[in-house]
Amino acid sequence: MSWHYTIRSNDGLIAQHVPTKDVAWHAGNWYVNAKSIGIEHEGFAAKGTWYTEAMYRSSAKLVGYLARKYGIPLDRAHIIGHDNVPGTIPSTIKGMHWDPGPYWDWSHYFDLLGAPLGGFGLPGSSLVTIDPDFATNQPAFTGCDSPGTPCAPRGSEAVVLHSEPSETSPLLKDAGLHTDGSPSTMDVSDVGSRVATGQQYAVAEVRGDWTAVWYLGQKGWFHNPKNARVAKPAIGWVVTPKPGLATVPVFGRAYPEPEAYPANVPVQAITPLPYTLSAGQKYSSAGTVGSEYYYAVTFDAADHVVVKGKLKYVQIQFGHRIAFVKADDVRLVPAF
pLDDT one-digit tens code per residue, 206-257: 999 999 999 999 999 999 999 999 999 999 999 999 999 999 999 999 999 9
DSSP 322: E
pLDDT one-digit tens code per residue, 125-137: 999 999 999 999 9
pLDDT at 161 (0 to 100): 98
pLDDT at 48 (0 to 100): 87
Angle at 278 between CA 129 and CA 119, to 5 degrees: 10
**Cα–Cα dist 53/56, whole Å:** 5
DSSP 315: E
- Comparing CA positions, the residue from 212, 231, 190 lying closest to residue 321 is 190
**Cα–Cα dist 237/328, whole Å:** 16
Q: In this model, does residue 66 exceed pLDDT 80?
A: yes
240: enclosing H helix or E strand: strand 236-241
pLDDT one-digit tens code per residue, 93-123: 999 999 999 999 999 999 999 999 977 888 8
DSSP 1: -
C-beta separation of 211 from 221 below 8 A: yes
Q: What are the C-alpha distances in Å from 264 to residues 261, 269, 296, 300, 304? A: 8, 16, 12, 15, 11
Angle at 49 between CA 92 and CA 17, to 5 degrees: 55
**Cα–Cα dist 265/233, whole Å:** 46
pLDDT mean across residues, the chain = 97
Say if pTM beats, i.e. exceeds, 0.85: yes
